[in-house]
Amino acid sequence: MKKQPIFVAVDTHNQKRASEIINATKNYIYGVKFGLEFFCSKGGREAVKKFKNKNVKIFLDLKLKDIPNTVYKAIKSLKDVSPDYLTIHASGGLEMMKAAKKAQSETNKKMKILAVTILTSLTNKDLKQMGSSTNVETQVQKLAQTARLAKIHGIVCSCTCVSTFVLDPICFKSLLVRDVNIFIFLFVSDCAFLAAFIISNPPLA
């Protein structure tokens, strides 16, 4: 059976529940996504390493954001976990993203670094309160362009923003000029939002 371009978000700290979700879906999905809740829980790091052997791709959604050197060292410290995908915040800036990419190239060349643009929980009102004069879609585009300059492998955005890139030929061509895949996150929870990530191979360039 062909696996679908879907990542199941394992939003729990319970390892037994996580195992149940993975076993029930692994034959149909491309991979599973672990966030801070699971990774920071007792035994979470070791559990992620164990689940990597279940023939599914591991998406480690840590959304790293700090000064460039700290992010660089944090990614280097994940060598033993060896996720297939790892997230950072695009809002950390160009130099931080470059540091992340450098750490990836020195630690695990197969791992893909993905830049989170705008969190799905944020609205135009939220951005205004934080001092931004642009709306969500415009900010997503700006952050995606910065990720492109850093040669990050892909971006993460809400499903509603995917059309910004897919339906706008100029934006799409300037951002993603190689083979492109769009993956969808499926949340096994009461989460009200869907998110997607767009990845190009080779990296955005």
Q: pLDDT at position 165, please?
A: 56
Q: pLDDT at position 189, please?
A: 43
CA-angle at 145, arms to 8 and 74, nearest 5°: 55
Q: pLDDT at position 184, please?
A: 54
Q: How many CB atoms lie within 10 A of CB 6?
A: 15
Contact present, 89 and 65 (Cβ < 8 Å) = yes
Q: Which of 42, 50, 63, 101 is catalytic?
A: 63
Q: pLDDT at position 205, please?
A: 37
Query: What end-to-end distance do the CA atoms of the chain give, in Å?
Result: 34
Instruction: Count helices and strands (H / E) in the chain.
Output: 9, 8
Largest Cα span, the chain = 48
- Tell me the H-state helices in 26-93: 36-39, 44-51, 68-76
Per-residue pLDDT of the chain (205 residues; tens, 9 = 90+): 677 778 888 888 999 999 998 998 888 888 889 999 999 999 999 999 999 877 788 999 999 999 999 999 999 999 999 999 999 999 999 999 999 999 999 999 999 999 998 888 888 898 899 998 888 888 888 898 898 889 898 888 777 776 665 545 444 444 443 344 555 554 444 333 445 555 444 443 3
Residue 63 appears among annotated catalytic residues: yes
List the structure tokens of 200: 């190009």
Q: Which of 136, 130, 131 is nearest to 158 (CA)?
A: 136
pTM, two decimals, is 0.83
